[in-house]
Amino acid sequence: MMSHGCTCPGPGPGPAQPHGRPRASTLFNTHLRAPRVQRSCHCPALQQRASERAAMGSVPEEVALGFGGLVGDLREVYESGRTRDLEWRHSQLRGLVRLLEEEEEDIFDVLREDLGKHRAESFRDEVGVLKKSIVDKLQNLKNWAAPEKARTPLVAFPSTALVVPEPLGVVLIFSCWNLPIGLALEPLSGALAAGNAVVVKPSELAPSTSAFLAANIPKYLDPKAVKVVEGGADVGEKLMEHRWDKVLFTGSSRVGRLIMTKAAKHLTPVALELGSKCPCIVDWLDSNRDSQVAVNRIIGAKWSTCSGQACIAIDYVLVEEEFAPILIELLKSTLKRFFTKPEYMARILNEKHFNRLRDLLADRRVSASVVHGGHCNPKTLSIEPTLLLNPPLDSDIMTEEIFGPLLPIITVKKIEDSITFLKSKPKPLAIYAFTRNEKLKRRIIEETSSGSVTFNDAIVQYGLDSIPFGGVGPSGFGQYHGKYSFEMFSHKKAVLKRSFLIEFLFRYPPWDESKIGMLRHVYRFDYVSLFLALIGLRR
């Protein structure tokens, strides 16, 4: 644990932890493990620096357990109206763009420190895609925030109806460790575009990135309206004791359930982005080129995105028995060609996660199915890209989300059987399918349910601003990215304006059959019959 710079006597750091990592916590760690919160210190100098840091938009771990004032201050800022101003929103988005441009090298450094990501992977999956998304918001925000006209029936003439997007208020964002910049700043950009005050709680499992966000967000954004809270599981729990106008959580379903339980106390709306076992159907592809392109994209979506530690990474492959040997050989040769250096693939997050993945392979029935790879290096927290052919369907590797560089390949008699297989499983975040068969594509769309379906590619849907990203059922709910990030943190308020000019008394008692008849004409939009009834020419 790093010193806070205080010269007063205080408690010791506690027992040493493996690799300098703190003790596991039991609640609100975004995936596996949470660091220890520092014990309180009563040094005036430290408290003064803590207050200054909080004023600058970042809340240190030492004082993070008292959030009443923080939430109250943010609500006061929101109620003042400053965040609703369109120019303020634009300025915050421009600040995020500058952060990504000016701090790009530091972002690459912290992602390498936390996850061993290559700078190219960091740019592709986080910096580049984020900047593109924020620029899109800047270009379209004026239109998104404008009131939208809605139709009104002739019987209400003269009247106008509008749908007015308004900010929700003060929102809380929990980000995850596997895309720690993107999963913090993409929803943050949507919340700011919508005009909210925001607290971001970065994942404590990516400590370098968390510290980077805490240090830099106050420099580029309004520090009174945007706060960063660092800390572990108990900090997350304390945050959820307060009333928020919306909470977005990205992480495990276990913690997602805890978030919802806490949110229910205040009837706080929640959006959950959870994991799942994302399947990939690989049809027999006659063209050698098409087969190679499919394999390139499968590898990109499994091993070159945080070493498979991503909620939208391919979890397993479904393929016809006859095509499986060809697919496996193509995967082997392409893996060898793509990963010529160890640094081209991210490492496993930490020791606990590494051991979990190694335990999946320790099952004798599973280890017997390994057809490529399987080597684990605990010193570097790295696991070789591993292919498994038909591991038992009741084994942990086929019942739990893998979240790592292990790829089971499950064979079916006919590729159409894969649809039956998928329908028996929980709804995933994404389904991928490589096929030229239009009938199969149509059946996948119509007969399965998932957050998204992507044909002949994988993971790229995450980077599209024009379509929503999110899960369904056990893979989560709530959608964001592009305009959908703006809408996630907005309330669409209906506004109806009517004149005093025309009044229809058949709306009110005392009732008789003629009034019921007139109401029937109104609800059928039969204005000719209504007019005739009103002037007494028709009953």
Query: Quick check: is 3 in a domain?
Result: no
Pick the more confident residue, 110 or 21.
Answer: 110
Average pLDDT, the chain: 89
Residue 198 sits in the same domain as residue 73: yes
Verify that 117 and 135 share a domain, yes or no: yes
Alpha carbon distance 158, 181 (integer Å):
50
**100 shares its domain with 128:** yes
Grade residue 534 by pLDDT with cuts at 50, 70 and 90. confident
211 and 308 together in one domain? no
Q: Express each pLDDT in 214-254 by its tens digit.
A: 999 999 999 999 999 999 989 999 999 999 999 999 999 99
| Percentage of residues in the chain having pLDDT higher than 90 | 84
Q: How many CB atoms lie within 10 A of CB 234?
A: 19
Claim to verify: residue 207 and residue 288 sit in the same structural domain: no
Residue 104 shares a structural domain with residue 243: yes
| In a shared domain, residues 229 and 116 | yes
pLDDT recorded at residue 41: 38
Residue 320 resides in a domain: yes
CATH number at residue 140: 3.40.605.10
Burial code (b: 16+ CB inside 10 Å, e: under 16) for 436-466 equals eeeebbeebeeebebbbebbbbbbebbbebe
Q: Are residues 306 and 350 in the same domain?
A: yes
Q: What is the spatial distance between Cα 193 and Cα 94, in angstroms, rounded to a whole number?
A: 11
Whether 322 is a known active-site residue: answer no
> Is 11 part of any domain?
no
The more confidently predicted of residues 1 and 476 is: 476
pLDDT digits (tens, 9 = 90+) for 185-206: 999 999 999 999 999 999 999 9
**127 and 211 share a domain?**
yes
Is it the case that residue 454 has pLDDT exceeding 90?
A: yes
Residue 93 or residue 48, greater confidence = 93
Q: Are residues 222 and 310 in the same domain?
A: no
The 10s digit of each residue's pLDDT in 285-314 is: 889 999 999 999 999 999 999 999 999 999
Choosing from 278, 280, 306, 311, the catalytic residue is 311
Instruction: Tell whether the model's pLDDT for residue 24 goes beyond 50.
Output: no
Number of domains in the chain: 3
Q: Are 284 and 320 in contact (CB under 8 A)?
A: yes
Q: Which of 61, 103, 126, 273 is catalytic?
A: 273
User: What pLDDT is recorded for position 405?
Assistant: 98
* Residue 249 forms part of a structural domain: yes
Q: DSSP 3-state assignment of 181? A: coil
pTM given for the model: 0.86
- Catalytic annotation present for 43: no
**Which residue has better confidence, 326 or 12?**
326
Instruction: Report if residue 6 sits inside a domain.
Output: no
Q: In the predicted model, what is the mean pLDDT of residues 280-289?
A: 94
CB 111 within 8 A of CB 253: no
The range of the structural domain enclosing residue 528 comes to 503-535
- 462 located within any domain: yes
> Does 47 reside within a domain?
no
Among residues 268, 274, 278, the alpha carbon closest in space to that of 301 is found at: 278
